[in-house]
């Protein structure tokens, strides 16, 4: 293995290709309606999903999809709106209003196709009556800093919204709604992707309040008052308005990890998948992965070298400072510290949507020399980790991974090569 970075990049590319919208949507096309076909959507991969749907759908359509700034795609019949992520903005607020308007007044002869991918939660601000965009921004910022798992975050989000938690599908009733979902959620519950604008779940106000308390979130008084009131209740899955709807998972971390493993084997390296649903504090998960890699490197156990160790899921970061980074770079900095000085280990941790946190990198590379190279560049790896400043640390040694927007989003990919 003369070029581990190229090998790991090919593994990432194989995982992303397995979630290519044109391939996956073609296998999940709904039956054509007697009436109109309206396409809606939200998420970091939804513009590419819209472009793919246009190519494979044989019939008239119109629609509206919102995605992150810079993640747009060329469409002929579906309008693409760009808005802010991970903190909502006024463009997202307008997009939410227009999406709700788009599905109102439809009939039982009409079809709504919802293209949903990760990132839709931030892209669809639609504050409940009595709340403001500023309130929803404050909620989002508190969630991102809390260290709470994504399921808890999205349960809270749907209780301060007029579009999440199935409400967008309810607004489309009596039209049939078919949701095509690219999952970035550990466990692949489609109701939690983008906080489920078209797919309700059983999470309650009580669940939301329990998570707020458990993670010590400080939310505006107006938000707390709303969540504590019956007005916050979201539609339940047994609501008759959802009776004829369909939900299809078109891509997931599990499928992409299998594709990554197959690519490794094609290149002559055996692969093992630890899990597609790993959650927890990024730095702690990084430490555990480092311990496994060290065990393989030094004892050839529990896996025989050479081997590629894969995992997916979505870790979280509890913000302790205002450094630059994201959950993948934070994971990998902790991992690098854990394998410091150990030869024969190379790793990539990256978000499959192409963006990790607020910067332009998807993640980073690391090996047994990373911490020493950071030290030579005047960077203290442990201090950077303590300050949530992993981006700065990896940037200092030229190890950021910047593939650009990928057009999909099936969560995080961690690939560890032990030679």
One-character DSSP codes across 158-175: HTTBSSTTTHHHHHHTTS
Task: Judge contact between 260 and 415, C-beta under 8 A.
Answer: yes
Q: What pLDDT is attached to residue 382?
A: 98
Mean pLDDT value across residues 143-156: 92
Cα separation, 44 vs 67, in Å, equals: 5
pLDDT in tens, 87-106: 999 999 999 999 999 999 99
Alpha carbon distances (Å) from 237 to 11, 85, 182, 250 = 38, 28, 20, 21
pTM of the predicted model as reported, rounded to 2 decimal places: 0.85
Mean pLDDT value across residues 282-305: 98
Compute and round to an integer the Cα radius of gyration of the chain.
Answer: 21
| pLDDT at residue 270 is higher than 80 | yes
User: How far is C-alpha 123 from the geometric centre of its chain's CA atoms?
Assistant: 12
Q: Tell me, what DSSP letter sits at residue 280? A: S
Mean pLDDT value across residues 405-409: 89
Q: What pLDDT is attached to residue 53?
A: 97
Mean pLDDT value across residues 104-131: 97
Mean pLDDT value across residues 309-322: 93
Q: What pLDDT is attached to residue 282?
A: 97
pLDDT in tens, 207-248: 999 999 999 999 999 999 999 999 999 999 999 999 999 999
Mean pLDDT value across residues 28-52: 96
Q: Tell me, what DSSP letter sits at residue 305? A: S
| pLDDT at residue 14 is higher than 70 | yes
| pLDDT at residue 1 is higher than 70 | no
Helices (H), 68-204: 90-103, 120-123, 133-146, 150-158, 167-172
Mean pLDDT value across residues 77-90: 96
**Given the structure tokens 């463009």, which residue do they identify?**
91
Structure-block tokens of residue 11: 């593994």
């Amino acid at each position: 293995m003369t070029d581990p970075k190229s090998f790991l990049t090919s593994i990432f590319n194989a995982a992303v290709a397995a979630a290519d919208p044109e391939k996956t949507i073609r296998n999940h096309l709904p039956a054509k309606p007697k009436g109109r076909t309206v396409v809606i959507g939200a998420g970091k991969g939804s513009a590419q999903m819209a472009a793919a749907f246009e190519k494979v759908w044989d019939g008239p359509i119109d629609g509206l999809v919102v995605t992150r700034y810079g993640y747009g795609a060329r469409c002929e019949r579906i309008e693409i709106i760009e808005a802010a992520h991970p903190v909502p903005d006024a463009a997202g607020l307008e997009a939410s209003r227009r999406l709700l308007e788009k599905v109102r007044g439809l009939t039982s002869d009409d079809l709504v196709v919802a293209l949903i991918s990760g990132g839709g939660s931030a892209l669809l601000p639609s504050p409940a009556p009595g709340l403001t965009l500023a309130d929803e921004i404050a909620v989002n910022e508190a969630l991102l800093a809390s260290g709470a798992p994504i399921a808890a975050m999205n349960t809270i989000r749907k209780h301060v919204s007029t579009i999440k938690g199935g409400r967008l599908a309810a607004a489309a009733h009596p039209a049939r709604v078919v949701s095509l979902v690219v999952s970035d959620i550990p466990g692949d519950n489609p109701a939690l992707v983008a906080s489920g604008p078209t797919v309700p779940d059983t999470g309650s106000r009580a669940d939301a309040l329990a998570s707020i308390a458990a993670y010590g979130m400080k939310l505006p008084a107006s938000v707390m008052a709303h969540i504590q009131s019956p007005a916050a209740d979201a539609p339940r899955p047994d609501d008759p308005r959802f009776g004829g709807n369909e939900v299809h998972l078109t891509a997931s971390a599990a499928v992409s990890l299998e594709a990554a493993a197959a690519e490794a084997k094609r290149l002559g390296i055996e692969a093992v998948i630890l899990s597609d649903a790993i959650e927890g504090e990024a730095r702690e998960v990084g430490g555990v992965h480092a311990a496994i890699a060290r065990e393989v490197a030094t004892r050839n156990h529990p896996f025989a070298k050479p081997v590629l160790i894969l995992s997916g899921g979505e870790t979280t970061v509890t913000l302790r400072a205002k450094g630059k980074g994201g959950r993948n770079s934070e994971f990998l900095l902790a991992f690098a510290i854990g394998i410091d000085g150990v030869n024969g280990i190379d790793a990539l941790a990256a978000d499959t949507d192409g963006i990790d946190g607020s910067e332009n990198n998807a993640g980073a590379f690391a090996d047994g020399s990373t911490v020493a190279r950071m030290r030579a560049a005047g960077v203290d790896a442990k201090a950077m980790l303590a300050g949530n400043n992993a981006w700065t640390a990896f940037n200092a040694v030229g190890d950021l991974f910047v593939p650009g927007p990928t057009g999909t989003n099936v969560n995080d990919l961690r690939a560890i090569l032990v030679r």
